[in-house]
Amino acid sequence: MEKNAKIYVAGHRGMVGSAIYRKLQKEGYNNLVVKTSDELDLRNQQAVSDFFGTEKPEYVFLAAAKVGGIVANNTYRADFLYENLCIQNNVIHQAYKNGVKKLMFLGSSCIYPKLAPQPLKEEYLLTGLLEETNEPYAIAKIAGIKMADAYRSQYNCDFISVMPTNLYGYNDNYHPQNSHVLPALIRKFHEAKVSGSTEVNIWGSGTPMREFLFADDLADACYFLMQNYSDAGFMNIGTGTDLSIKDLALLIKEIVGFEGSLTFDSTKPDGTPRKLMDVSRLHQLGWKHKIELREGIKLAYQDFLEKHS
């Protein structure tokens, strides 16, 4: 990507989009185009068509999506399917129509079958049934990958897809019901510490294994892949290591400084038993994460304190 190229970051206020935006600025790109959802509703076909026709971006990072944790995914099933399909259909099609040089579509590790072998290799996509709670979101994201591939194959568009593992970091969502597990635990432990509670109750059994990548590391990987990767299919992005939800909770408890005890509510859903990414292809290309989990949680907690307490 040329330093003066016009680059559109869709979803620049979210955790992922804001990290990509910071990374591009840091690398000396200053011709960045961004729009808030109030300024540009990506679900609106005509609005997206008008935007691309006017702005003519040369590169696109498609990080805009309707996202949420296990409760939100399971509650707003129609919204998650409809809105994500609208967003990616509109952006990918207009990128083709307006001659975008390269587009990156960002998916999610929930696209893999619920009981796929571990660690998750890219070729396991569509080899089994999805996790029921987030099936609508996963189907939308799978459609996005296939759409990028279809435009590549039919129209020779340089559209690539990446699949990040579980993310956390600056500008995360700490909503009590709609957040993912790591930010939800940061909030829970912080509120328990402030209120002087003696225990924190955690959803599920604590046994599922999860992998976490700091969002700024993801942005670094996305930037790297825009320069060094151009292929059909998609590329996993992660750390290649995981830990149990219980161990994650203990680590966050320590960082936040909560002194009480933990209890686990095994009547609540666990979700997929394990979701570890195989990142050997990414490592072979020459990229590896830099921010380890303990350091990343400290940075995220500091960000939470500045914005939410």
Residues identified as active-site: 137
Q: How far is CA 57 from CA 29, 38, 63, 106, 153, in A?
A: 13, 20, 15, 18, 22
How far apart CA 54 and CA 154 sit, in angstroms, is 25
Match 């790109």 to its residue by tokens: 29
Two tokens, residue 123:
């070729």
What Å distances lie between residue 87 and 41, 91, 102, 131, CA to CA?
A: 9, 6, 17, 23
Report d(CA 41, CA 49) in Å as an integer: 11
3-state DSSP call for residue 280?
Answer: helix
Q: Are 287 and 158 in contact, with CB atoms under 8 Å apart? A: no
Residue type, 27: E
d(CA 276, CA 286): 20
DSSP code for 14: S
Lookup: tokens for 15: 């955790």
